[in-house]
């Protein structure tokens, strides 16, 4: 290949040097962009050839050159003619020899580039034999050959980015892989039997064998006919080869899942597999977790693959189950969880059998005892770090799923009985004077909770005994926590056995008084689920609960109070209309009174008092969220509460609306109140809109803007003069505030305001288009929509694109035969004016976003926008779009892709074939996506 000027090489090295320093973000982005653009250029072939083969080039330059060749072979091979491709091949072959001993990152990238070249270069018809001949005879280069042979099947079968037809792919696959598979197997077998083979080469043999086996080119049957099968198992004794041997054996077993086709292979594997059991026992005894993990992987792979053989021929295959049981009993929980998929799949298969053989029942009984043992907290839980404690708790729930598998095989009643017996045995030992650790009781309780999903709500045998046992349990916080959550989990059962409610309610209520915050949290959860599932039985207990929230409630943390109020709301939702209305009024006015008490003080509210207000509002919101609505007709007791409650909330906004957390809470309560009170609160809406718009204008808090949008969607259909004026005034005031905020601070610093404004404008155009299109603020509104499109969050992009589509496709722009409303001509005039004035910016933002940060789901919306503009503004669009395309950096869109898009899009505009626009846009997206993927490949 021809040499390149020294200054090009120096520029590349200078850009790479930026990455090794401590650059600022601007310098880093500039260097990265320049390197990406350089990778696209035809000149990079020659420059990278020098960088790769010159021994004096720094390692970063060599790595970059190898990565660039890999990317360009995939995407840019069309830049080279046949003779240049041959030169590239020779350069890459030379690099294979040069980097045979590393660095490995360079060798891998060169191997990938060479593989991609072999796939596309049809005239290179002896690629695999020629590499074997050139690299396979010299011990120094064997590792490089094995690296190439390892990545070749992966590239042929998995690199869908190579621009080649399916027919050509199939042809090359047959020529490169299938035709050479026998020779590759012989080669690997020869290397393994060679005198003085190094662990590095032997590891390379295993990796290469796996690659060809996974792609189906070398079959397990053919491997079984060679010494490679035995070598894989014997290599388990070599620490340097252990992990490679494990991977190879696991893959080989997995590839024998077509049982009938591989019976001979399975017969060869099984005795070697069972011979590993003493090694497993020894590794467990020595607490060699890495070796146990590898052997566990082998046994569980065999168990899952040969699951049906285990069931059909237990005399022969059941030892695999026993070995997996030994793995499940190991102390390292990372090893234990490897077995879980096997137990699940085996349970699903056993569940289809009418009679379960005793060995399998015993295996799951043993497994259940093992899992309960693993559930035990350490003797000193404080010895765990916070992260270790969180990880263990999370893993307990994963183990709980395996307990459900035990229930599936053994039956829930039997499993519950066994863990019940564990608790009673421990308690009996304690009664007799023996020492009982709390973990011995807590772990079985946790398992009861895990198995709750499998419980029969009509059970009359085991669960009553469990419930009778709970009051006798020790008062240790962990035990009480677990017992409370058992009650919570079995609430469906309690609903059919309401006689247990008094005891459970008392037990739960006492939990709120516990000094341990987690016990109180469990009590809140239990209260919620009991009231949700047993709500009809708990109506009689509402006075007791009301007293509870008035006396104990103030001492609870907010999260626990929320659980209690949610629970009470479930009970209210089950009551008759009049009773529910009266009860809700009582609880709601209690909370509003707390707010009013703070507002009524002459002195300024303290931070604690403001928090009290926020907490009370959150409780009220929770109740409204559960109850939702009483229907079109409110109960008599509730009819005047809207005025009472809103009067307090209006005063709250006026006094404290500039506190962000207050604004969030009050707006959410009003939103739920709108749903709850519906039309009966309509008379309050004009004043509410004015208050909320004024609050937004003074604070800039997005919650007020959000509430305006929600109120518009609910009440805008009402044709009331006062309401119409209120909506118009609120929209104008809110819009002016948004425009002022956009001018004074970066839009990226207030995405919540932009998003909520987009939704508000969507509602206004839907119900009151005249307030938007005919307003003097419409041009600024349109500019704000364009600003929203420059922000990354999808929650903003989609409503902004929707708004553009609605505006550009408005019916007023395409009058039909039916007489149009008198407002349509001024609508059309306003829309045409803003599009004409902002069209270039609009096209630039949308097209740039499409090839950079827009998510894939926006494609259809963008296509629709361009089709609409091509139909209404074809001349203007042609004048806008081509300069925009030229401004997009080559790092985002290569020059050939730009030219192709301009040609296709221009043709669509000229011919009026709007369907062609979709094809042009989709092709542009595909090219830009590939370009972004290339950019991610620069890893130095």
Measure the CA–CA gap between 900 and 924, rounded to whole angstroms.
9
* pLDDT at residue 218 in the model: 96
Q: Is 342 helix (H, G, I), strand (E, B) or coil?
A: helix
Question: How many angstroms from the chain centroid is the CA of residue 171?
Answer: 38
Helix (H) or strand (E) holding 923: helix 915-936
Band of the pLDDT at 470, cuts 50, 70, 90? very high
Token duo for residue 24: 């600022």
HEC string for 149-163:
HHHHHHHHHHCCCCC
- pLDDT tens digits for range 633-656: 888 888 889 999 999 999 999 999
Band of the pLDDT at 2, cuts 50, 70, 90? very low
Do residues 129 and 183 touch, judged by C-beta distance below 8 A?
A: yes
Band of the pLDDT at 888, cuts 50, 70, 90? confident
Do residues 674 and 629 touch, judged by C-beta distance below 8 A?
A: no
Measure the CA–CA gap between 190 and 137, rounded to whole angstroms.
11
Residues with Cβ < 8 Å from 384, sequence gap 6 or more? 378, 392
Band of the pLDDT at 609, cuts 50, 70, 90? very high
- Give the mean model confidence (pLDDT) for residues 696-718: 95
Band of the pLDDT at 148, cuts 50, 70, 90? very high
Measure the CA–CA gap between 656 and 609, rounded to whole angstroms.
11
Winning range, highest mean pLDDT, from 294-308, 599-613, 913-927: 294-308
Residues with Cβ < 8 Å from 525, sequence gap 6 or more? 484, 485, 488, 563
* pLDDT at residue 3 in the model: 43
Do residues 873 and 839 touch, judged by C-beta distance below 8 A?
A: yes
- In residues, how long is the chain? 940
Measure the CA–CA gap between 686 and 729, rounded to whole angstroms.
10
> What is the full DSSP assignment across 692-727?
HHHHHHHH--HHHHHHHHHHHHHHTT---HHHHHHH
Do residues 861 and 801 touch, judged by C-beta distance below 8 A?
A: yes
Distances in whole angstroms, Cα of residue 269 to Cα of each of 188, 254, 321, 507:
20, 12, 16, 57
Mean pLDDT (the chain, rounded): 92
pLDDT at 176 over 90: yes
* pLDDT at residue 38 in the model: 87
- pLDDT tens digits for range 522-559: 999 999 999 999 999 999 999 999 999 999 889 889 99
Measure the CA–CA gap between 899 and 313, rounded to whole angstroms.
66
* pLDDT at residue 934 in the model: 65
* pLDDT at residue 5 in the model: 56
pTM: 0.83
Tell whether omega for the bond before 103 is within 30 degrees of 0, i.e. cis: yes
pLDDT at 893 over 90: no
* Percent of the chain predicted with pLDDT > 70: 98
Band of the pLDDT at 1, cuts 50, 70, 90? very low
Q: How many CB atoms lie within 10 A of CB 569?
A: 25
- pLDDT tens digits for range 243-268: 999 999 999 999 999 999 999 999 99
* pLDDT at residue 897 in the model: 85
- pLDDT tens digits for range 34-70: 888 888 888 899 999 999 999 999 999 999 999 999 9
Band of the pLDDT at 937, cuts 50, 70, 90? low
Let me know if 410 is exposed, middle or buried by CB neighbors in 10 A (0-12, 13-18, 19+).
buried
* pLDDT at residue 845 in the model: 95
Do residues 666 and 653 touch, judged by C-beta distance below 8 A?
A: yes
- Give the mean model confidence (pLDDT) for residues 867-872: 93
Q: Is 881 helix (H, G, I), strand (E, B) or coil?
A: helix
Let me know if 717 is exposed, middle or buried by CB neighbors in 10 A (0-12, 13-18, 19+).
exposed
* pLDDT at residue 160 in the model: 82
- pLDDT tens digits for range 576-603: 999 999 999 999 999 999 999 999 998 8
Q: How many CB atoms lie within 10 A of CB 305?
A: 23
DSSP assignment letter at 605: P
Measure the CA–CA gap between 711 and 333, rounded to whole angstroms.
53
Q: How many CB atoms lie within 10 A of CB 24?
A: 10
DSSP assignment letter at 57: S
Q: How many CB atoms lie within 10 A of CB 807?
A: 24
Let me know if 6 is exposed, middle or buried by CB neighbors in 10 A (0-12, 13-18, 19+).
exposed
Let me know if 328 is exposed, middle or buried by CB neighbors in 10 A (0-12, 13-18, 19+).
buried
Measure the CA–CA gap between 495 and 595, rounded to whole angstroms.
36
Measure the CA–CA gap between 62 and 839, rounded to whole angstroms.
46
- Would you say the C-alpha torsion 526, 527, 528, 531 has a positive or negative sign? positive
- Give the mean model confidence (pLDDT) for residues 354-376: 94
pLDDT at 142 over 60: yes
Do residues 851 and 924 touch, judged by C-beta distance below 8 A?
A: yes
Token duo for residue 337: 């969880």
* pLDDT at residue 818 in the model: 66
Task: Give helix then strand counts, H and E, for the chain.
Answer: 48, 0
Token duo for residue 639: 């009819």
């Amino acid at each position: 290949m021809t040499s390149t000027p020294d200054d090009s090489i120096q520029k590349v090295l200078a850009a790479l040097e930026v990455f090794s320093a401590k650059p600022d973000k601007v310098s880093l982005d500039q260097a990265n962009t320049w390197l990406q653009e350089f990778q696209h250029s035809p000149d990079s072939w020659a420059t990278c050839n020098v960088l790769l083969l010159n021994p004096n080039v720094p390692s970063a330059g060599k790595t970059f050159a190898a990565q660039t060749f890999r990317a360009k072979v995939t995407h840019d091979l069309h830049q080279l003619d046949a003779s240049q491709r041959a030169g590239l091949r020779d350069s890459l072959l030379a690099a294979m020899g040069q980097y045979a001993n590393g660095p490995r990152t360079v060798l891998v990238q060169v191997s990938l580039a060479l593989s991609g070249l072999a796939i596309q270069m049809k005239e290179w018809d002896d690629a695999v034999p020629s590499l074997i001949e050139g690299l396979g005879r010299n011990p120094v280069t064997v590792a490089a050959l094995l690296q190439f042979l390892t990545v070749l099947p992966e590239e042929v079968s998995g690199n869908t980015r190579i621009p080649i037809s399916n027919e050509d792919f199939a042809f090359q696959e047959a020529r490169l892989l299938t035709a050479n598979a026998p020779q590759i197997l012989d080669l690997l077998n020869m290397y393994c039997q060679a005198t003085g083979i190094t662990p590095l080469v032997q590891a390379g043999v295993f990796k290469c064998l796996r690659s060809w086996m996974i792609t189906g080119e070398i079959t397990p049957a053919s491997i079984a006919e060679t010494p490679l099968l035995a070598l894989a198992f014997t290599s388990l004794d070599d620490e340097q080869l252990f992990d490679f041997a494990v991977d190879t054996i696991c893959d080989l077993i997995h590839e024998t899942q077509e049982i009938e086709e591989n019976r001979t292979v399975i017969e060869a594997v099984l005795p070697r597999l069972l011979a590993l059991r003493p090694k497993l026992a020894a590794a467990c005894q020595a607490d060699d977790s890495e070796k146990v993990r590898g052997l566990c992987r082998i046994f569980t792979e065999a168990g899952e693959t040969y699951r049906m053989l285990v069931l059909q021929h237990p005399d022969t295959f059941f030892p695999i189950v026993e070995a997996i049981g030994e793995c499940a009993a190991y102390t390292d929980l990372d090893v234990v969880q490897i077995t879980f998929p096997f137990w699940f799949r085996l349970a699903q298969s056993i569940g289809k059998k009418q009679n379960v053989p005793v060995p399998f029942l015993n295996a799951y009984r043993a497994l259940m005892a093992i899992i309960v043992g693993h559930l035990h907290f350490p003797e000193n839980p404080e010895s765990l770090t916070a992260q270790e404690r969180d990880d263990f708790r999370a893993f307990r729930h994963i183990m709980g799923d395996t307990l459900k598998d035990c229930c599936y095989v053994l039956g829930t009643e039997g499993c519950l009985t066994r863990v019940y017996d564990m608790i009673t045995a421990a308690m009996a030992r304690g009664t007799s004077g023996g020492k009982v650790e709390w973990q011995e009781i807590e772990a079985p309780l946790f398992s009861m909770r895990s198995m709750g999903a499998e419980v029969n709500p009509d059970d009359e045998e085991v669960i009553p005994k469990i419930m009778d046992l709970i009051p006798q349990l020790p008062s240790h916080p962990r035990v009480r926590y677990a017992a409370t959550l058992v009650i919570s989990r079995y609430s469906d059962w309690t609903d059919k056995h309401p006689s247990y409610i008094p005891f459970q309610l008392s037990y739960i209520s006492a939990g709120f008084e516990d000094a341990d915050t987690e016990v109180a949290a469990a009590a809140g959860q239990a209260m919620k689920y009991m009231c949700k599932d047993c709500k009809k039985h708990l109506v009689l207990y509402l006075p007791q609960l009301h007293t509870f929230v008035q006396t104990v409630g103030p001492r609870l943390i907010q999260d626990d109070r929320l659980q209690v109020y949610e629970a009470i709301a479930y009970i209210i939702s089950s009551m008759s209309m009049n009773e529910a209305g009266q009860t809700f009024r009582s609880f709601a006015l209690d909370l509003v009174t707390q707010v009013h008490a703070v507002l009524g003080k002459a002195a300024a509210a303290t931070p604690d008092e403001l928090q009290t207000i926020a907490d009370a509002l959150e409780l009220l919101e929770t109740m409204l969220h559960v109850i939702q609505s009483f229907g079109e007709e409110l109960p008599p007791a509730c009819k005047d509460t809207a005025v009472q409650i809103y009067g307090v909330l209006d005063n709250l906004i006026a006094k404290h609306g500039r506190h962000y957390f207050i604004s969030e809470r009050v707006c959410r309560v009003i939103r739920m109140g709108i749903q709850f009170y519906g039309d009966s609160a309509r008379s309050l809406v004009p004043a509410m809109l004015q208050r909320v718009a004024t609050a937004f204008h003074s604070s800039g808090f997005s919650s007020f803007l959000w509430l305006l949008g929600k109120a518009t969607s609910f009440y805008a259909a009402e044709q009331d003069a006062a309401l119409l004026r209120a909506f118009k005034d609120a929209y104008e005031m809110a819009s002016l505030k948004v425009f002022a905020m956009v001018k004074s601070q970066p839009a990226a610093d207030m995405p919540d305001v932009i998003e909520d404004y987009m939704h508000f404008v969507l509602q206004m155009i839907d119900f009151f288009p005249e307030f938007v299109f005919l307003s003097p603020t419409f041009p600024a509104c349109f500019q704000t929509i364009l600003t929203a499109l420059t922000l990354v969050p999808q929650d903003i992009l989609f409503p902004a694109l929707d708004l553009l589509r609605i505006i550009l496709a408005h019916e007023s722009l395409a009058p039909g035969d039916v007489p149009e409303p008198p407002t349509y001509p001024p609508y059309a005039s306003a829309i045409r004016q803003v599009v004409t004035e902002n069209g270039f910016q609009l096209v630039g933002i949308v097209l740039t976003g499409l090839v950079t940060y827009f998510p894939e789901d926006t494609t259809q919306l963008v296509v629709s926008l361009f089709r609409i503009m091509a139909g209404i503004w074809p001349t203007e669009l042609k004048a806008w779009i081509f300069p925009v395309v030229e401004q997009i950096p080559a790092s985002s869109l290569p020059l050939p892709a730009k030219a192709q898009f301009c040609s296709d899009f221009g043709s669509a505009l000229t011919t009026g074939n709007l369907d062609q626009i979709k094809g042009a846009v989709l092709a542009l997206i595909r090219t830009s996506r590939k370009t972004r993927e290339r950019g991610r490949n620069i890893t130095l």
